[in-house]
Amino acid sequence: MMRAKSQIVIIVIGLGLLLGLAVQSANSQAPLMGPKPPEVQKELPPGCGFIPPRIDLSHLGSKETPLRFSALEPPARWDWREQGKVTPVKDQSSCGSCYAFASLANIESRMLIDGEGTFDFSENNAKECNWYGRSCDGSNYFDVANWLSKEGVVLESCDPYAAATVSCNST
């Protein structure tokens, strides 16, 4: 008899939990949706360089400063160039490879800021071997960063820049 009562109590508690979950899910808001690719992608003429990422990142924008930053007083002036933490400016010539130059300059400068040393990475390798990009016809930082996270970087001395569409030097 005591065992039957404990089984009934367990069943009642279980039903109560299920009912509570059903009521809670009925009262909750619709689930948040992740970014979706744009419906129509407008083709740009060759040689434009930057091509927007294939996903909608508009949900990342915010008009309010996060609390962890609002209490900080920014300096009146700050320039990474004066700190010696920016790599030299390079010339992409007539090739629309600004995405490769910007991506690698970002990484090279970040390594300087972190005290990791001075490096010169291959923009040619980033524009020609990147399976997301279209060589001199453009791409974007998102695609290059994604590709580099899987493949790594190559030194400029191993794959010098050519201001034209050339084959990927995979060696």
Query: For residue 157, is it within any domain?
Result: yes
Inside any domain, residue 129 = yes
- The single-letter DSSP state of residue 115 is T
Range list of H helices, the chain: 2-27, 67-70, 98-113, 123-128, 141-151
Q: 110 lies in a domain?
A: yes
Q: Determine the residue type at 122.
A: S
Q: Which two tokens stand for residue 122?
A: 């291959």
Domain limits for position 118: 45-51+92-166
| Residue 128 located in a structural domain | yes
Beta carbons within 8 Å of 59's beta carbon, 6+ residues apart: 35
Residue at 68 is within a domain: no
- Number of domains the chain contains: 1
Residue 126: both structure tokens together: 């980033």
First to last CA, the chain: 79
Does 11 fall in a domain? no
Q: What are the structure tokens assigned to 142, written together? A: 């998102």
* CATH at residue 157: 3.90.70.10
The residues, ordered by sequence, that sit 6+ positions from 101 with a Cβ below 8 Å of its Cβ are 90, 92, 123
pLDDT at 56: 72
Series of mean pLDDT values for 10-residue runs along the chain (171 residues): 70 72 60 62 64 71 65 82 91 92 93 92 92 83 89 93 90 81
Query: How far is Cα 106 from Cα 19, in angstroms, rounded to an integer?
Result: 53
Distance CA 133, CA 13 (A): 57
Taking the C-alpha atoms of residue 151 and residue 139, their distance in angstroms, rounded to an integer, is: 17
Cβ-contact 138, 96 below 8 angstroms: yes
User: Residue 78 in contact with residue 72, Cβ under 8 Å?
Assistant: no
Inside any domain, residue 115:
yes
Task: Tell me what pLDDT residue 92 has.
Answer: 92
